[in-house]
Amino acid sequence: MFLVYTALSGIYLFLPPLLTVLYFYFSKALKKEQTSVLILTIFCLLFFESENSYVLFSTIIYFSILHKYIVPKITQSFSCVTCINFMIVLFVYVGFFLFYSFLSNIFLFALPAINYYVIYYIVIEFLILSIL
């Protein structure tokens, strides 16, 4: 089902790519040590990367860094769950853009472009993450 949705979100820009939802399942699978959910999430991330022409394993590496180093600092700094969720959504999108820009500079790729749809995606995925 996610593979069909990812293909449709590549065609219709009003559908968010659900990158934060994938991070949520990635983080949850790492915390609870659920290998089947982790493998399924990694497969979905690889499909997302191939659909958007990103470097192989770039989202997995970024999500690992985010889960291990950045999110624990966010949870230490903020006490409200809504603030933590908003910061996670912000770091997933803006942080991945910065991380991919860093990779583009290292491997001499074209710099990625960011557009106004990202703000829409952040708002929609924050609402989805609030429900989860």
Q: Which residues lie closer than 8 Å to 128 by C-beta, 6 or more apart?
A: 18, 20, 21
The pTM for the full model equals 0.91
Among candidate residues 95, 96, 93, 71, the one with its CA nearest the CA of residue 81: 71
Q: Which residues lie closer than 8 Å to 124 by C-beta, 6 or more apart?
A: 16
Residue 106 neighbours by CB distance under 10 Å: 9
Instruction: Give the Cα separation of 101 and 91 in Å (integer).
Output: 14
Tens digits of pLDDT across the chain (132 residues): 787 888 888 888 888 999 999 999 999 999 999 999 999 999 999 999 998 889 999 999 999 999 999 999 999 999 999 999 999 999 999 999 999 999 999 999 888 888 888 899 999 999 999 888
Instruction: Give the Cα separation of 117 and 105 in Å (integer).
Output: 24
Radius of gyration of the chain (CA): 14
Q: Is 34 helix (H, G, I), strand (E, B) or coil?
A: coil
